Chain A
Amino acid sequence: MNRYLPLSILALAILAFATLMLVIAPGIQIDARNVPEGLRNYTQAEQNGRDVYVAMGCVYCHSQQPRSPDQAPDGERGWGRPSVASDYAFDAPHQLGTMRTGPDLLNVGARLPSEGWHLTHLYQPRAIFDWSIMPAYPFLFERKDRAAPSDTVVTLPPAYAPESGVIVARRDALDLVAYLRALDRTYPSPTDALRDDGYASGPAAEDPNASEGDS
């Protein structure tokens, strides 16, 4: 090749074509879907909590995209039904994630709705799971000698409780928990749902005795 202009035009045309296929076409297709019945927008506190989730980088260990039972046992772990594009209608920035150093969280509000549990777990995950490698977030809490009536005191096993006084949650911690509790996509998936169905196995193809979970 010896000419710059054709080279650049062709290179850009290929990228434009890729953009059309990977960005514009799916964008149009996803936009055409309605907000599913059962999904509501986040409240102010939940949205603040979501911002804390984003700022802390939770997404680098926690996905928010349960897979289909044809592919993986996400449903059996309580992570919820396979998610579809319209489940994320109110999510910006998206937090789908690509790592599961920790469990999927798209339905954590349905399986773990306890504010107290989440506060304990955020303050010190190893107070509950001694094998956990999740960071602790002590800076979202403060120690007080005595809790004010409006304070939310964190429930802690004796080994992790402060020597004196109590641990109370700051606003960010409470909002973050509000967001986690709002993560609940257990309503039925819409019939026009859009997701990767590449693992679908028909009833005919299914051999009930051959499965990855068989022992």
Chain B
Amino acid sequence: MFGRKSKSDHPRPDENFEPYEEFSGIPMPVYWIAIALAAWGAFMLYDTGKDVTLAQDERVEERAVQISADQGEGGNLFVANCSTCHQPDGEGLRGAVPPLAGSEVLAAGPEIVARILLRGIDGPIRVGGDDFDGHMPSFASALNDDEISRIASYVTLTFGETDAKLDPKRVADLRHEVGDAGSFAGGAELATIVTSMPPQPPHPAPTAADAMTATVQDLVFAGRDDVWACASCHGDLGQGGENTPRLAGQPAKYLTKQLNDFRDGTRDNESMQIVAAGLSDAETAALGAYFATLRATSNASPNLSADLARGERLALQGDWSLGVPACFTCHGSSGFGVAPDFPALAAQHAPYTASQLAAWAGGGRQNSPLGLMSQISQALSSQDRRAVADYLASLPPVPAGRTASAQEGTSNAE
């Protein structure tokens, strides 16, 4: 024996003993365990089959929602997307929304209509002898090629009395051609491609330039020695992405308040606190004013796989059984925001909206007026938070000029 020695009564094992196995049977419980596990395994397999079908259906459905494949005629699409402003009869609203019926633009054919749907209009426009302050959002992200082609064809047929059909493939080409061109600069730019239009009022210099001082330009696009440029995360047009929020078209005062809150530590976000730390009151106000004037097509999509119908119900009606009011009672009838305190929600990125609701629910964010958002968020379940975020992401963005015209001034009272 090497290195081992026994002091006990037990016989010390022999170095030459060879390991071997006895012939006992398998204990009964082992059989039972094996049978139970086999049954469980079989059930798991059955269950998985159901899950796969379910998830596959969900994906197809989601894809359909993301592309908004409305199978109805162009008329349904018109009612759903256009009639709120242009009215079901296409007469528009006197002094506010140009009529479609009898418009010179429609006479130019469905392709022009598709271009307008893709780009939106931002600037004065003269239709049927009347001047309008043109503020039409872009539907580029809200509608797919097929839908745009059907709306354009429907609108020109119904109001322009031209029965030219537009091919979805042509819309795809247009979409490509339009690219990031942004909104039409009022009727003036539109007239360059629609020769039949009457003389158009001059387009004022872009409103963005008003708020665009040299300081703001530096902060937004170049950053400073110790802070990054706003645009480097929020995009050149303030469009954001995922949980980096869209800033374009938010009420100026809301944005200014948030920047001041980051600076004071009232709102928590490490990166934004660094950015805001070096900003003066004048700068936060100027930045708020600048982003309020920006317009960008929606790049948000309902990507949280939540129940859109539930989201729509919460946004439009709220859920009184939970004590949750409709989002739109405060944030405006289309979620475009109400200056100065209520930010725009439409076309906001779903992960951002959901993460903010979660932060309010968890106490990570507490800077809403009267603590309203904390109460509301705590009442919402995780599915509800995602549902409403998804629904809001599916809406078209704040149309041009919607809050810019309601500019609440650059004074900030926070």
Residues of B near A189 (CB, < 8 A) are 59, 62-63
Contact call A213/B307, Cβ cutoff below 8 A = no
Residues of B near A155 (CB, < 8 A) are 223-228
Known A-B contacts A75-B303, A115-B232, A193-B59; the reply to A110 vs B381 at CB < 8 A is no
Known A-B contacts A110-B241, A114-B232, A128-B274; the reply to A76 vs B54 at CB < 8 A is no
Residues of B near A200 (CB, < 8 A) are 51-52, 54-55, 58
Return the contact of B378 from the options A80, A110, A111, A215 (Cβ within 8 A).
Answer: A215
Chain B nearest CB from A44 CB (Å) reads 23
B382 beta carbon closer than 8 Å to chain A = yes
Q: Which chain A residue lies CB-closest to B350? A: A75
B152 beta carbon closer than 8 Å to chain A = no
**Which one of B27-35, B74-82, B101-109, B383-391 contacts A?**
B383-391
A93 beta carbon closer than 8 Å to chain B = no
A-B contact count (CB 8 A): 144
Chain A nearest CB from B194 CB (Å) reads 33
Residues of A near B307 (CB, < 8 A) are 203, 206
Q: Which of B272-316 contact A (CB under 8 A)?
A: 274, 301, 303-307, 310
Return the contact of B358 from the options A73, A117, A129, A208 (Cβ within 8 A).
Answer: A73
Give per-residue flags for A96-127: 1 if the beta carbon is below 8 A from chain B beta carbons, else 0.
Answer: 00000000000100111111110010000001
Contact call A197/B56, Cβ cutoff below 8 A = yes
Contact call B233/A117, Cβ cutoff below 8 A = yes
How many of chain A's residues touch chain B, expressed as a range?
A: 35 or more
Chain A nearest CB from B382 CB (Å) reads 3
Return the contact of B361 from the options A197, A206, A215 (Cβ within 8 A).
Answer: A215
B229 beta carbon closer than 8 Å to chain A = yes
- In the assembled complex, the Cα of A189 lies from the Cα of B306 at a distance in Å of 15
Return the contact of B385 from the options A68, A76, A209 (Cβ within 8 A).
Answer: A76
Most buried by B among A73, A186, A188, A213: A213
Contact call A198/B361, Cβ cutoff below 8 A = no
Q: Which of A173-203 contact B (CB under 8 A)?
A: 186, 188-191, 193, 195, 197-203
Chain B nearest CB from A143 CB (Å) reads 15
A82 beta carbon closer than 8 Å to chain B = yes
B235 beta carbon closer than 8 Å to chain A = yes
Residues of A near B226 (CB, < 8 A) are 155-158, 161
Return the contact of A73 from the options B63, B229, B382 (Cβ within 8 A).
Answer: B382
Residues of B near A163 (CB, < 8 A) are none
Q: Which chain B residue lies CB-closest to A114? A: B232
Contact call B386/A75, Cβ cutoff below 8 A = yes
Return the contact of A78 from the options B244, B361, B378 (Cβ within 8 A).
Answer: B244
Contact call A208/B59, Cβ cutoff below 8 A = no
A210 beta carbon closer than 8 Å to chain B = yes
Contact call B244/A112, Cβ cutoff below 8 A = yes
Contact call A209/B233, Cβ cutoff below 8 A = no
Number of residues in B with C-beta < 8 Å to the partner?
53
- In the assembled complex, the Cα of A212 lies from the Cα of B243 at a distance in Å of 21
B242 beta carbon closer than 8 Å to chain A = yes
A211 beta carbon closer than 8 Å to chain B = yes
Q: Which chain A residue lies CB-closest to B303? A: A81
A172 beta carbon closer than 8 Å to chain B = no
Give per-residue flags for B342-372: 1 if the beta carbon is below 8 A from chain A beta carbons, else 0.
Answer: 0000000011101100100110000000000
- In the assembled complex, the Cα of A39 lies from the Cα of B209 at a distance in Å of 36
B270 beta carbon closer than 8 Å to chain A = yes
Q: Which of B212-236 contact A (CB under 8 A)?
A: 223-229, 232-233, 235
Contact call B223/A116, Cβ cutoff below 8 A = yes
- In the assembled complex, the Cα of A186 lies from the Cα of B354 at a distance in Å of 17
Q: Which chain B residue lies CB-closest to A112? A: B233
Q: Which chain A residue lies CB-closest to B382? A: A213
Return the contact of A69 from the options B51, B60, B304, B355 (Cβ within 8 A).
Answer: B304
- Would you mind naming 15 contact pairs between A and B with Cβ atoms under 8 Å apart? A68-B55, A69-B305, A75-B305, A78-B351, A82-B305, A113-B235, A116-B223, A155-B224, A157-B274, A161-B226, A188-B66, A190-B63, A197-B51, A201-B54, A206-B307
Interface residues of A (CB under 8 A from B): 68-70, 73, 75-82, 107, 110-117, 120, 127-130, 155-158, 161, 186, 188-191, 193, 195, 197-203, 206, 208-215
Interface residues of B (CB under 8 A from A): 48, 51-52, 54-56, 58-60, 62-63, 66-67, 223-229, 232-233, 235, 241-244, 270-271, 274, 301, 303-307, 310, 350-352, 354-355, 358, 361-362, 378, 381-386, 389
Known: A117-B232, A200-B58. 4 other contacts (CB 8 A): A116-B229, A117-B228, A155-B228, A197-B55
